[in-house]
Amino acid sequence: MKNRKFLCMVMLLLMFGLVGCDSNEKEEPEKTTENDDVVIEYQDEDEEIIVMTDEEKAILCSTYVNEDRINEGKLYDYQIEALKQFRYAKEYLQKKYPGYEYNFFAFHPESKTNDLTKLEFTVDDTENYFTVEVHTSDEGYQGKDNLYGYILSPEFEAMVVELLADAGIDNCLVHAKMGTFVGEEIDADSTVEEIVDMGRSLKIDLQIFVDMEGGDNADTKAVVATIEEQLRSINNYGGHQVYFAPGITAVCSSGDECIEYRKEHDLYLESFNTFDE
């Protein structure tokens, strides 16, 4: 009888022991948490897995050499910071200029050799590329970009054409290049009047194509002087080129087309700048 009781007790102990082992070996369920806009999946207590889109993985892989770890979501601290800045830059652009398709192709994160982050991109199907900068401070991130020139240049060019026509030069086309990096003060809804009001805080270089014969003569000098006077009247700050090409307004309909025309033709050129007050 005693032996039977002993055997029962041994069997019970073994059963409880096995149950205990099974419960200890159960895997912890995966969970997610959010830390400063970076979602982390915990697979275990030691490894952090960052949730990223394919686009984010691709841009980081184009920047850093540890592609396998990046594709697995295993980022170092400096790569997590770079990811945050990339996300900020993308959101900054989308808020300022909604409705465009952004194609990011080069990422230069802040580092010992870069005092700020730069992200290069194209929009829609254009071949021109643009840059957005991310400046860091104790207050957080601040974005600046030069995309506004692509969006606002056509309206600004039309304004300059009208300005020159009112001054008697009614046979020209204009190409504007806006290169100054700006922040929230300019966006897709900004007007030409607001651009003009910013005055010398923006550098706007112009190529002006005049439909007339040019040369080292009084007529050419008079046209250039008039153009300079009109640009100074709107407080423009920039370097300017005036090309003379008889018949150019008949073969070109925009400043962009004039740029291509200039590459294939020898045009008379006069230059000046409005850098001084």
Q: Is the pLDDT of residue 1 over 70?
A: no
Of the candidate ranges 2-6, 169-173, 271-275, the one whose mean pLDDT is the lowest? 2-6
Distance CA 275, CA 277 (A): 7
Q: What is the pLDDT confidence band of residue 126, given thresholds at 50, 70 and 90?
A: confident
**Token match 């080069």: residue?**
106
**Helix locations, the chain, DSSP H:** 2-24, 54-61, 67-71, 77-96, 148-166, 192-197, 218-233, 248-251, 255-264
Distance of CA 226 to the CA centre of its chain: 36
Distance CA 83, CA 89 (A): 10
pLDDT of residue 19: 42
Tell me the angle at which helices 77-96 and 54-61 cross, rounded to the nearest 10 degrees: 120
Q: CA separation (Å) from 155 to 57, 94, 192, 265?
A: 38, 21, 7, 27
Over residues 166-171, mean pLDDT: 96
Q: What is the pLDDT confidence band of residue 26, given thresholds at 50, 70 and 90?
A: very low
Distance CA 164, CA 155 (A): 15
Distance CA 271, CA 274 (A): 11
CB neighbourhood size of 249 (10 A): 17
Over residues 216-230, mean pLDDT: 96
pLDDT of residue 45: 60
Domain with CATH 3.30.300 in the chain: 148-273
- Dihedrals phi, psi of 23, to nearest 5 degrees: -70, -35
147 burial type by CB count under 10 A (0-12 exposed, 13-18 middle, 19+ buried): buried
Distance CA 207, CA 219 (A): 19
Q: CA separation (Å) from 92 to 194, 220, 271?
A: 21, 46, 37
pLDDT of residue 38: 74
Residue 84, CB half-sphere, CA atoms under 13 Å: how many?
20
Instruction: Report the alpha-carbon angle 112-114-115, nearest 5.
Output: 90
Distance CA 105, CA 85 (A): 15
Q: What is the pLDDT confidence band of residue 152, given thresholds at 50, 70 and 90?
A: very high
Q: Is the pLDDT of residue 21 over 80?
A: no
Q: What is the pLDDT confidence band of residue 12, given thresholds at 50, 70 and 90?
A: very low
Round the average pLDDT of the chain to a whole number and report it. 88
Is the pTM higher than 0.95?
Answer: no
Two tokens, residue 58? 């691709």
Q: CA separation (Å) from 53 to 84, 203, 213?
A: 13, 37, 57
Q: Is the pLDDT of residue 34 over 90?
A: no
CATH of 148-273, one of 2.60.120, 3.90.550, 3.30.300, 1.10.10: 3.30.300
* pLDDT tens profile 46-103: 778 999 999 999 999 999 999 999 999 999 999 999 999 999 999 999 999 999 999 9
